[in-house]
Amino acid sequence: MDKLTTAGSRPDWESLKSIVLIGNHLPRLCGIATFTTHLLESIALNAPDKACWAVAMNDRPEGYSYPPAVRLEISQNQLNDYSVTADLLNINHVDVVCLQHEYGIFGGKRGSFIIDLLRDLKMPVVTTLHTILKDPSPQDRHIMMQLAEFSDRLVVMSERSVEFLRDIYRVPEEEIVLIHHGIPDVPFVKSDDYKDKFGVSGKKIILTFGLLSPGKGIEVVIDALPEIVKAHPQVIYMVVGATHPHLKAEQGEDYRNNLHLRAKELGVSDHIVFYDRFVADEDLLEFIGAADIYVTPYLNEAQIISGTLAYALGMGKAVVSTPYWHAQELLADDRGRLVPFRDRVALAREVIDLLDHPEACRAIQQRAYQYGRRMIWSDVGRRYLDTFAEATRQRFRKKIPEHRLEPLGLRQQRLPEIKLSHLRRMTDGTGVLQHASYTVPDRMHGYCVDDNARALIVAVTAQDLQPLDSSLGDLASVYLSFLGYAFNEQTGRFRNFMSYDRRWLELTGSEDSHGRALWGLGIAVALGRDAGAVVYAADLFRRALDTVEHFTSPRAVAFVIIGTHAYLARYSSDSRARRMRKILGERLMAWFRSASSDDWPWCEDILSYDNARLPQALLLCGQWLPDPQMLNTGLRALDWLKQVQTDEKGRHFAAIGNQGWFPRDGGKARFDQQPIEAAAMVDACIEAFNCTRDEKWISYAYRCLNWYQGKNDLGVTLCDYATGGCRDGLEAQGANENQGAESTLCWLMALLAVYSQRGRDRATPGEGPALLAARNES
């Protein structure tokens, strides 16, 4: 630790004129918002001559009523907002940016969108890390490594955080700055001075505060209360804080209600007071002031920073805590008491001992208060200013953009907003309708499994990117229910077409529709957020899998392989699914061996529809069986598809037309070009990039995406930016103006695939959007 920067040397601040913080901000209700707000205030008070302001992250479309200190806002799930913000910060010559990083507050996979913003910034970046994972997934490790790559300093708030960055993520110590979590500067006073305000004079107060959620361990304290109350009948346990808004949106007040019931069953309801609201700073200080003992009963050690613990310790409270990482550090040297996780007996014993021995309790409080003096906000603000100045003087970031407004490359091109308005319009209580007349749903043709499977993929993928939008779960449930109803238990097959009056028009659908159903179910299993829906999808997947073993349609086989890979992301030990993947992969490979030649590397004598799904399936199987020949065959076939579906001047994607297709001994049909081809190529090219790390595949994926946006043979825009719909194809005379389900869903699938890839395009191989099984199977 001798070499570690402690931000105490105070470099000259004069070079700093403007400082911007990026993070959540009050009145948004969360710990990061509170931290960012106080840090900004502290910096501004220490440097009143500087322009200090914030960029706030919004987790809801309407945003919040921010104070003037918030000058810019980013909609969490809108990728374009990140690049626009970077441009504005660069144009306004901001001197330093301080990012508050926490998983879950930024858009993209594990918050990957923020990397796009950091990558484009020219000024020094100082990133405060609020969570550092001890056992990161490949994706989480990648995010952290990119944060380190695009930051000049990383600020952490505990010694354990320093160890993790150095030993797990290999960050050089000279780039790490230790600055403790800030706390208010209040005098050391007796708790009795505050108790009158809450009507608890003469009581002994045990306090826990913060946003309520499972994992906080409140139930352990409740379980310990009968023993504590038996020894000290005057004890009141105060639980202060609203339910976390994201938890409340997903589960309502289940956790809080269960705590109430638990207290009633144990006969301690009269000794617990729940304050169900987000507490402003002034009130919070009074709550803490009234406490005799503060308890943090977290259920596991993986809590590297606790702002609530820092506040309680800094105000001189006697703390009883479980030994999570931050507590081990702050409560060392007899500044508090540690008890094992989930141990109500030990918790009761320590609380009773402190109440039995007020002098010992007082000594702990004084030691805690003295230790906390180093953490008051005014000092923390000065240390951040020191760090900003040092980062400006000596930059550690290795890759700084050279030009202020360089042309956007394909990787940085701005993506359209994900809009599902037209999909919602096409969906009723039964499922998604097949066709539209212009933009109006056409009920004459009813529904089909093909489109509902695609719609399920879109809904769960969108929810994976936008987990706070509960309406996406409702959409997914409609499509999943349709697939469940379509399955025929007698035949083990899915029906496909249903009339608008809900009559099945066939006993058994095509192999392709069955394969698409399994594909959709596999994605729902891999990405689903609703536990019941995941179980339902997995059960239906298993029941429908056996009949595919003897399928003869190459596309159906490919769809099943893609879906099985996704399914195995969650159920990697399912030997039956692994066996089926191997059988189907080898069958698809055999078809390629028997039909392909040097000038026709394909498994059929005609190129027709959804072609790229076949090499995509080979790439997936080739990686995970593993089978290098299969992988090479998939890459060769996809590269050939890339060549035959590029216009003569090599400028844009030109799909094989369905008016004649492309026979082996004939010419390629130019029209009608269908949206399904571009979507398949986007997914397959992303998977090829994951296999090879060759940038040409990402470039071509964007070229295929841009086909929808007017970069095509006729220069006609097919996607509808306003609604998320898509026209039904490119015909010789122009676009087919109908916006049916297949076209719309293919556009959305392609766009979502690129969104999912953005921000993780330098991740470890095997992280493609269609394959999540790698992490569990490797």
Residue-level pLDDT at 88: 94
Task: Annotate 324-348 with DSSP letters as a single string.
Answer: -HHHHHHTTTTTSEE--TT-HHHHH
Q: Which tens digit of pLDDT belongs to each residue from 351-383?
A: 999 999 999 999 999 999 999 999 999 999 999
Q: Which tens digit of pLDDT belongs to each residue from 652-663?
A: 999 999 999 999
Q: Read off the pLDDT of each residue in 38-61 and give the average, rounded to a whole number.
A: 95
Q: Which tens digit of pLDDT belongs to each residue from 154-193?
A: 999 999 999 999 999 999 999 999 999 999 998 888 888 8
pLDDT at 735 over 80: yes
Instruction: List the one residue out of 715, 664, 648, 684 whose CA is nearest residue 562.
Output: 684
Classified as helix, coil or strand, 276 is coil
Residue-level pLDDT at 248: 80
Q: Confidence class of residue 398 from pLDDT cuts 50, 70 and 90?
A: low
Q: Read off the pLDDT of each residue in 79-91 and give the average, rounded to a whole number.
A: 92
Q: Mean pLDDT over all residues of the chain?
A: 91
Q: Buried b vs exposed e over 100-120: b needs ≥16 C-beta within 10 Å?
A: bbbeebbbbbbbbbbbbbbbb
Residue 58 β-bridge partners: 75
Residue 209 β-bridge partners: 240
Q: Confidence class of residue 777 from pLDDT cuts 50, 70 and 90?
A: very low
pLDDT at 128 over 50: yes
Instruction: Return the higher-pLDDT residue of 210 and 617.
Output: 617
Q: What is the tally of helices (H) and strands (E) in the chain?
A: 28, 22
Q: Confidence class of residue 139 from pLDDT cuts 50, 70 and 90?
A: confident
Q: What percent of the chain has pLDDT over 70?
A: 94
Q: Which tens digit of pLDDT belongs to each residue from 267-289?
A: 999 999 998 887 777 788 888 88
Q: Buried b vs exposed e over 722-743: b needs ≥16 C-beta within 10 Å?
A: ebbbbbbbbbeeebbebbbbbb
Residue 176 β-bridge partners: 154
Q: Confidence class of residue 470 from pLDDT cuts 50, 70 and 90?
A: confident
Instruction: Return the higher-pLDDT residue of 306 and 738.
Output: 738
Question: Amino acid letter at 146?
Answer: Q
Residue-level pLDDT at 14: 81
Asked if 239 and 212 count as a contact pair (C-beta separation under 8 A), the reply is yes
Residue-level pLDDT at 776: 37
Residue-level pLDDT at 404: 39
Both tokens assigned to 240: 């202060």
Q: Which tens digit of pLDDT belongs to each residue from 292-337?
A: 999 999 999 988 888 889 999 999 999 999 999 999 999 999 999 9
Residue-level pLDDT at 568: 96
Residue-level pLDDT at 685: 97
pLDDT at 40 over 50: yes
Residue-level pLDDT at 770: 34
pLDDT at 761 over 80: no
Residue-level pLDDT at 195: 86
Residue-level pLDDT at 4: 52
Both tokens assigned to 61: 């479309």
CA 565 vs CA 109, 446, 486, 533, 558: distances in Å:
19, 31, 23, 18, 11
Q: Confidence class of residue 778 from pLDDT cuts 50, 70 and 90?
A: very low
- Using CA atoms, how far apart are residues 85 and 613, in angstroms rounded to an integer? 37
Residue-level pLDDT at 406: 38
- Using CA atoms, how far apart are residues 469 and 394, in angstroms rounded to an integer? 42
Instruction: List the one residue out of 582, 566, 446 whose CA is nearest residue 518.
Output: 566
Residue-level pLDDT at 760: 57
- Using CA atoms, how far apart are residues 485 and 504, in angstroms rounded to an integer? 10
Q: What percent of the chain has pLDDT over 90?
A: 78
Q: Read off the pLDDT of each residue in 129-152 and give the average, rounded to a whole number.
A: 92
- Using CA atoms, how far apart are residues 637 and 772, in angstroms rounded to an integer? 23
Residue-level pLDDT at 402: 55
Residue-level pLDDT at 199: 85
pLDDT at 198 over 60: yes
Mean pLDDT is lowest, of 370-374, 409-413, 500-504, 701-705, for 409-413
pLDDT at 455 over 80: yes
Q: Confidence class of residue 774 from pLDDT cuts 50, 70 and 90?
A: very low
pLDDT at 468 over 90: no
- Using CA atoms, how far apart are residues 391 and 58, in angstroms rounded to an integer? 28
